Structure 1
């Protein structure tokens, strides 16, 4: 069986590295990750406070929506808040 070989182009590498570069600039990368993934019923207040001042909040939320992230605080929104946002967009 022959497998098709896909060579990665420079544009694809640039696109992928740009997509992930926002994560390096995120405030949560410098914070305790447990705050962003609280136990069920746990407070999200501290994580959302960090998100409020983050320069990549929009990119983070877009990533979570595009990749259907189901857990944690992303872009300042909880899973429930992201679901509501998606429903309103439809």
Structure 2
């Protein structure tokens, strides 16, 4: 079971940005403000360090509600998570 989890983590780490760019083809006019994403994440218990634009997505660096460092990509129109990488 541990080998499967490690394989999934490795696959996610290398596919994150590529996956994000495929999922975030949204016209700039349809983007919500990054402050709205920050408010959403903070409402879910995250401590947001920064949010930037990367490959057509919002890329957030934060500490999630479980206390783990996260690099996560979000659709800028819906704020749906499209990829993430959790550090231990």
Higher RCO structure (Cα 8 Å, ≥6 apart): 2
Q: Same fold (TM over 0.5)?
A: no
The TM-score, its normalising length taken from structure 1, stands at: 0.28
Specify which structure has the higher proportion of strand. Answer: 2
Q: TM-score by structure 2 length?
A: 0.28
Name the structure where helix makes up a greater proportion of residues. Answer: 1
Could you say which structure has the larger radius of gyration?
1
